[in-house]
Structure 1
Amino acid sequence: MKIASGVEMLEISSDVMGMPCVINPTLIWDKDTVILVDAGFPGQLTKIRDSIEHAGVPFNKLSMLILTHHDVDHIGSVSSILRELPNVKVLAHKEEKAYIEGKKCPLKVAKMKDNLDSLPEKMKMVYEKLKAGFEKCKVNVDKTLIDGEKLLCCEGIEIIYTPGHTLGHICLYLKKSKILIAGDILKVENGILAQVSPDINFDMNLNIKSLKKLTEYDIQTVICYHGGLYNEKVNERIAELINE
């Protein structure tokens, strides 16, 4: 779905524990640079390639991957992309680097491991699959990003450090088009902008502070990785969420 000139919200069909869903990586490009923000589950290279080509951008022009955080549904197909396009650069916040590179245990895996004895058998199976999935997703991060950093390509991209969901979660702000690429700090559910479940946030207090930070930006459109597009009085809605 075209959101603005040089901005496309991809719609990638997925299956999570037998439940169909759609995830929404974002493609940003200009004449010199093509950026994919987040890269789906493992095994989704073909769908990602087809979605990029459908947006009118040759897949082999991809030059950069920006990862909002290290969850497996965001980094899952990075290694597959790099096998086909080894010159693509991977960028993420410095707090995410060790997780993406496999030097630290992913937060969700670590939490499940700490409670493994009390988990039901089905969740123990989920733990084993998740752990194995992350093992296959490890890639090197070429450049770390910091809060407030501005990338000069694609008419300007500002990095907003928004910890809470994970320790190094980031959002991207496209000032010219007033678009926020929200990663997992927000979701759209039944057409309404909402917070993701506290159960999958590492630190809810940090998450609220990060939401407050977003109110400093003039946001007209949000692209949520889960739920897609929201563009109805965004700043007012975020303020409501902070006070819920």
Structure 2
Amino acid sequence: MKPPALTRVADGVHFVNTGSANWTILTEGRSATLVDAGYPGDLPAVLWSLERLGHRPEDLAAVLVTHAHVDHIGSLPELLRRAPHAKVLTSAAEARHVRREFLEQATPFDVVANLWRPGFLPWALHIVRAGALRDVRVPAAEAFPAAGPLDVPGRPVPVPTPGHTSGHTCYHLPEAGALITGDTLVTAHPTSRSAGPQLLASLFHHDEPAVRAALDVLEPLPAGLLLPGHGPHLAASPADAVALVRAGRG
């Protein structure tokens, strides 16, 4: 396994970038919160990143999900076998998606139809090796118990941003001045020829107009650090990042 890039971006906030999928680890004493979990094949990297921070899977108090695509929940079924007490939390709509009561995700046909585009073929080969074709579901997923800061390490505040999926959620970390943007706003992707704040390609979104509307929700949030689902972390405010996306420069 090639170790991913693990970066401490703020006190108790650690960003993990594998090059194809990201996750964030929030630590507080002996407990931790994991936000997203990569592809099925990323399980060794998830375990490695916890270990590098001095944690074991048993230390996980919660796993928060931005959305239920396979590159964000793929390692969870096996990880939860090692972390039986960790709660899997997301929005009510997305909890049903994580449990696979429905599926909103680009199909293999969608991917094949776009293999002519630059970057798609090597990306497609990579994600197949990473387990993208597996049927991944997490029956234990449940909705947040209440609005406002969650009572888990890091005290993240859920920010509803439906569009990429029906229940997509970003997470604001007010104490760290950071925003976990999931796939509502990213900074790179293997299928993209640009770098910097941007939207994913249209085929990846359930409702692209809603994704653009969700930028209005992110724009005013007080943060100076963006932690996306794809691409490197970025020292920028949501307002500045959204402005670049709207200007077509990201």
TM-score (norm 2): 0.79
Show the counterpart of 2:230: 226
Measured in 1, the distance between the counterparts of 2:57 and 2:243 equals: 38
Measured in 1, the distance between the counterparts of 2:26 and 2:167 equals: 21
Pick closer, same or farther for the CA change 1:132–1:57 going to 2, 3 Å: closer
Show the counterpart of 1:45: 43
Show the counterpart of 1:34: 32
- 1:83-127 Cα deviation digits (max 9, x unpaired): 222222111111112221122134324xx67x89x959999xx8x
Contact 1:23 1:228 survives alignment (8 Å): no
The structure whose residues are more often helix, as a share, is 1
The structure whose residues are more often strand, as a share, is 1
- 1:142-174 Cα deviation digits (max 9, x unpaired): 430389532133353110000111111100000
Tell me if 1:82 matches 2:50. no
Pick closer, same or farther for the CA change 1:217–1:36 going to 2, 3 Å: same
Structure 1 position 207, deviation (Å): 0.8
Which piece of structure 1 moves more, 221-230 or 85-94? 85-94
Show the counterpart of 1:67: 65
Tell me if 1:149 matches 2:130. no
Measured in 1, the distance between the counterparts of 2:140 and 2:102 equals: 14
Measured in 2, the distance between the counterparts of 1:95 and 1:133 equals: 23
Is there any run of 5+ residues in structure 1 with no aligned partner, and where?
13-20
Tell me if 1:9 matches 2:8. no
Show the counterpart of 1:17: none
Show the counterpart of 1:133: 133
Pick closer, same or farther for the CA change 1:11–1:233 going to 2, 3 Å: closer
Show the counterpart of 1:15: none
User: Which structure has the higher relative contact order (CA within 8 Å, separation 6+)?
Assistant: 2
- The one-letter code matched in structure 1 to 2:8 is K
Measured in 2, the distance between the counterparts of 1:132 and 1:223 equals: 22
Is there any run of 5+ residues in structure 2 with no aligned partner, and where?
1-6, 189-193
Pick closer, same or farther for the CA change 1:88–1:148 going to 2, 3 Å: closer
Which aligned pairs between 1:205-220 and structure 2 lie closer than 5 A? 205-220=209-224
Measured in 2, the distance between the counterparts of 1:132 and 1:41 equals: 7
- 1:42-85 Cα deviation digits (max 9, x unpaired): 13222110111112333321121111001000010100011222
- Percent identity between the aligned chains? 24
- The one-letter code matched in structure 2 to 1:37 is V
Which piece of structure 1 moves more, 166-175 or 188-197? 188-197
Tell me if 1:166 matches 2:170. no
- The one-letter code matched in structure 2 to 1:158 is V
Measured in 2, the distance between the counterparts of 1:23 and 1:120 equals: 20
Show the counterpart of 1:187: 186
Contact 2:93 2:166 survives alignment (8 Å): yes
Aligned residues: 227
